[in-house]
Homo-oligomer: A and B are copies of this chain.
């Protein structure tokens, strides 16, 4: 009878079920390593993130770190992906006003302010990625996801004109390299930059 068959992945282990469990372990370990790496970057900047320092911080052997990420640049890529995913989750599925449930303009305002906070914390990582991506930045998955989100909110807000161009213009204002220059070279606070973003958004949306 069908009822007697265990459902896939639920209940008693199936033959060969140790494999998924191993994978889940691997994913959890990877997550722990990335959290430790993120802590290191926040404390000491991107330069402080070495394979050695990460192994020490996470209490694992250096070989484990190399096995997971291949190289330091593999680790940086994984870390950026980790950070972008967290931020994507917040604006796609998190609580309002960043996530669904708030009016589109308020979501746009919250999106910019959240991005500024990310850049304040992970700026070196984001900027390193912008430079690495060079001319291809605008064709990469992280940028396209941000642009899709901003475009959706602009459409929901009833903005007219070429939405993709407008989304590019808004996102250009939030480039990590620019924001870091404004914060560290020009001495503007995150609030001042956030207020500029908000005024910008409200004016663009009011057209």
Contacts and interface: CB of A to CB of B under 8 A. Distances in A.
A137 interface: yes
A178 B185 contact: no
B165 A188 contact: yes
A67 interface: no
The number of chain A residues touching the other chain, given as a range, is 35 or more
A195 B161 CA distance: 9
Nearest to A128: B135
Interface in A145-177: 161-162, 164-166, 168-169, 172-173, 175, 177
Nearest to A202: B207
B138 A165 contact: no
A204 B196 contact: no
Q: Which of A180, A200, A206 gathers the greatest number of chain B CB atoms within 10 Å?
A: A200
A196 to B, nearest CB: 4
A47 to B, nearest CB: 14
Q: Which of A168, A193, A203, A204 gathers the greatest number of chain B CB atoms within 10 Å?
A: A168
9 contacts: A127-B135, A131-B135, A135-B177, A138-B185, A164-B186, A165-B192, A165-B196, A169-B173, A169-B196
